[in-house]
A and B are shown apart, each in its own frame.
Chain A
Amino acid sequence: MTPNELNSPGYDIPDDMKNVVAITTLDKIYNFGRRSSVWPLMFGLACCAIEMIAAQASRYDLARFGMEVMRPSPRQSDLMLVAGTVTKKMLPAIVRLYNQMPEPKYVIAMGACASGGGPFKEGYNVVAGIDKYLPVDVYIPGCPPTPQALVYGLIKLQEKIDGQSLKQVRWYQKGADSVEVPIPMLGPDLIDPRRIPEIKTKAAELAAAATIPNAE
């Protein structure tokens, strides 16, 4: 959104006040503020995080987007950049961090691993994409995505923010402030609390199949 768009609410401003008064809509000014100061959570998982740091550094300079303020605390951040391979062992911590972020919050899946498991998908300790647990706003392909690709992804996120309206966003609706994602548990394997009944039925089916010889 250019400053021109920001300042064109569809009302006429008298000529003599043109350079003194600006009129805009609440949505636009609110979104302008948010999109220009997205604070990412300082949180790198793997190789992709190095490109994230490179994007912060002088050549690519995320400060141009107001995004250079990486916060180590989830309480102060707006954006979770999942940069790297999500492992089962790490997942409970990631989901907890997400739950601790205040609304409005966004998630970007950076790289093949965070988007779908990437080169390590078949691994026994790898979660095949963070979107199995968290709602992802933007996916950035690449292994690792170049800093340019990351910047492009962030611009896409800004476009998404521009399109939101105060009247509709979930964090101003009635009800709970924020959606809590149930925290996965580390049992004999990763247990997703939302899928407990499903796991139970499946495991029982497997047990039944095992007791009938030559079931196939």
Chain B
Amino acid sequence: MTTPAPITTQFDLAEKFPGTVSADARPGYAGWIVAPEKLTEVAIFIRDELGYDLLSSVTGVDYLAEGLMEIVYHVYKTSGGPALVFKAQLPRLDPVKVASLTPVWLGAELQEREIWDLYGIHFENHPDLRRILMWEGFDGHPMRKDWKEAFYDDEVKPFKSRWPEGKHAFAEDRSPFGDNVSFEAGFDPEKWTATDPEEALYATLKKYKTVVKDGIATDHILVNMGPQHPSTHGVFRAVVMLDGENVVSLKPVMGYLHRNHEKIGERNTFLQNMPYTDRLDYFNSMSNNWPYAMAVEKMMGIQVTERAEYIRVIMAELSRIQNHMILIGMLMNDLGAYFTPALYAFEERELILDIFEAASGSRMMCNYHRFGGVVRDVPAEALQKLKDLVFERLPGKIDEFDRLLSENEIFVSRLKGIGYLSPEDAIRTSMTGPMLRASGIPYDIRRADPYSVYDRFDFNVAVRYNGDLYDRYLIRIDEMRESIKILEQALRQMPEGPVMSVKPTYQVKVPAGEAYGRIESPKGELGFYVVSNGKPNPYRYHVRAPSFINLTSLEMTCVNEKIADFVAILGAVDIVLGELDR
């Protein structure tokens, strides 16, 4: 271990703001509780005086029994080190109100909208407080603990109606409306008139106006791209206002794949959530498991065996290579090089998936991590295949990509100087991962706040300084090369031994408290905020999704670019809808 331990003594906020800030004294909890009226003031102090410039995650929690709603903020320094956590507790009145922190950290924008949508907490002075995952007009705020879905069975699993005495029955038969819908008593669909849900959305775009240029009246054009559009990588939608070909204003619209991950997650037992994390960023199920396992392990206070740590690193880095290859292939698709580069990428991906399948039993949805290690060891043949791949094949393939594309004239002229994002803006909008590093900020959690065994490897943090699309492409190539370095070292150093540090059980016992686990996923900071109240199910289970938060800067990077470049800019953000909408 060569890296010096980060300075962990934290500034005493309670001393600085007596009466306003107090330490969170609940057992298992940490951080500071800030009086809601002074939230902005304290936040500005934390940002400007203490230097926590990166707002990572904003989480709402509903403490129904205590009559409180809590908002948890995790902030980091881009120079590295652990988080500073502060919370605002709001009485559960109607309406629940708090000041928006978007003026302090712009990165709060989408996350606060999500909390408004799911918890009904009103953020005052938020620039655009509309529903984000559900549609405008939906009845209720579904993540509140007292809100029940139509197929509600029991508070938590295992549902008694099914196990141990019960037997399976159709959820449709239980719901009064015979389907996954519920309406208020006395609701009359004939009298209900549809209000245009898009009106509020269009109103947020820069005004549609007619100008007369050289005697010719010209209009701005409103274009809807998605939710079914070949370039939006799934069911993402963007509403774009165009002046000719130039983007004047743009709004991302999401929620078309909102599968209620968090609500289901709070009914599941701790272990049952593991396969659900696979389905977040479905390109990288191997690395999705990790931060969740990490958060729960933190609360349980258990260690992971040496060998399991190495396996986790290996699988995560393989995931990264595979993800970046596909990203580059798909980016080429977006630029019009239809599917040929993507086919190159898929060829390598299949080989990597073979290893995942051998280790975990499934190609895509690996469900491989367990609390305390991984579910089983990598079989010997797969390990051999893996070594061949890492030492023989992949480095050459990455070079091939590099040779094929990096200097291709059309490619370069489509990418250079497009979609510029300045380092200040990148931090302000809470970018993480390649998006941040391509803007010149060398912030990589593997180095900034090392976890697992990453401090044992010799690798560089890839960083590029131009902040344009071309750098966002190059940084992926750099990162793949660094991943190969890590893989080579990990494979050489990997010790023998068990892969689980505790006896595997279905019902893990998690002491009450909170924990936040995060890793540098291929897309950015993937974090899980988990609260336990000592029961077999998480009380709160929140995903800090990089695909989602990295979209905060989308409008910024697209304005004044051409509509065709918007497609490429979106492609280079690297979104996956499962994670974006959760």
Contacts and interface: CB of A to CB of B under 8 A. Distances in A.
A206 interface: yes
Given A188-B139, A206-B185, A50 B257 contact: no
Contacts of A58: 343, 346-347
Nearest to A147: B363
A192 B133 CA distance: 21
Contacts of B364: 47, 50-51, 144
B365 interface: yes
Nearest to A85: B259
Interface string B556-582: 000000000000000000000110000
A210 B63 CA distance: 28
B194 to A, nearest CB: 6
Interface in A170-216: 185-192, 195-196, 198-200, 202-204, 206-207, 209-210
Nearest to A209: B185
Interface in A120-138: 120-128, 132
B171 interface: yes
Given A47-B578, A199-B187, A203-B187, A87 B137 contact: no
B184 A203 contact: yes
Contacts of B342: 57
A44 interface: yes
**B interface, by DSSP: helix, strand, loop or mixed?**
loop
A211 B194 CA distance: 28
B180 to A, nearest CB: 5
A72 interface: yes
Most buried by A among B150, B177, B181, B577: B181
A57 B257 contact: no
Interface residues of B, number: 64
B229 A72 contact: yes
* Of listed A124, A143, A198, A204, residue having the most chain B CB within 10 A: A124
A89 interface: yes
A53 interface: yes
Contacts of A207: 185-186
Nearest to A191: B189
B163 interface: no
A59 B346 CA distance: 9
Interface string B170-205: 011000111111111111111010100100000000
Q: Which of B138, B149, B188 gathers most chain A CB within 10 Å?
A: B138
Nearest to A59: B350
B258 interface: yes
A114 B187 CA distance: 29
Contacts of B257: 45-46, 84-85, 87, 90
B234 interface: yes
A53 B171 CA distance: 32
A195 B235 CA distance: 27
Nearest to A50: B282
A210 B183 CA distance: 14
Nearest to A146: B363
Contacts of B267: 122
B271 to A, nearest CB: 14
Nearest to B194: A185
A87 B506 CA distance: 30
Nearest to A126: B259
A109 interface: no
Residue of A47, A59, A202, A206 contacting most chain B CB atoms (<10 Å): A47
B80 interface: no
Contact of A49 (B176, B182, B234): B234
A13 interface: no
Contacts of A191: 181, 189, 192
B180 A47 contact: no
B172 A47 contact: no
Nearest to A113: B259
Contacts of A10: none
Given A45-B235, A47-B279, A119-B279, A87 B176 contact: no
Interface in A25-66: 42-47, 49-51, 53-54, 57-59
A67 interface: no
A209 B178 CA distance: 18
A123 B263 contact: yes
Nearest to B191: A200
Contact of B346 (A57, A84, A121, A202): A57
A189 B347 contact: no
Contacts of B189: 187, 191, 196, 199-200
B260 interface: yes
Contact of A196 (B138, B190, B229, B282): B190
Interface in A45-103: 45-47, 49-51, 53-54, 57-59, 72, 84-85, 87, 89-90, 93, 97
A206 B177 CA distance: 10
Nearest to B188: A200
B528 interface: no
Nearest to A47: B282
Nearest to B170: A128
A120 B264 contact: yes
Nearest to A91: B256
B275 interface: yes
B181 A120 contact: no
Contacts of B346: 53-54, 57-59
Contacts of A45: 234-235, 257
Interface string A132-154: 10000000000110100000000
B137 A186 contact: yes
Given A119-B276, A186-B197, A204-B186, A54 B180 contact: no
Contacts of A42: 230
B45 interface: no
B149 A122 contact: yes
B373 interface: no
Contacts of B188: 200, 203-204
Given A45-B257, A53-B346, A123-B259, A206 B186 contact: yes
Contacts of A188: 137-139, 183-184, 187, 192
A87 B259 contact: yes
A189 B135 contact: no
A166 B255 CA distance: 42
Contacts of B152: 122
B227 A93 contact: yes
Contact of A128 (B177, B180, B192, B259): B180
B459 interface: no
30 contacts: A45-B235, A49-B234, A50-B283, A50-B364, A87-B256, A87-B258, A89-B134, A90-B227, A90-B235, A97-B228, A122-B152, A123-B259, A123-B260, A123-B264, A124-B149, A124-B260, A124-B263, A125-B260, A128-B171, A128-B172, A128-B179, A144-B364, A146-B363, A185-B194, A186-B194, A187-B194, A188-B187, A196-B189, A199-B181, A210-B185
Nearest 10 pairs of A and B residues by beta carbon: A123-B260, A207-B186, A188-B139, A57-B346, A47-B282, A206-B185, A207-B185, A124-B149, A72-B230, A120-B259
Given A93-B228, A199-B187, 8 more contacts: A47-B578, A89-B134, A90-B227, A121-B171, A125-B142, A127-B180, A190-B181, A192-B179
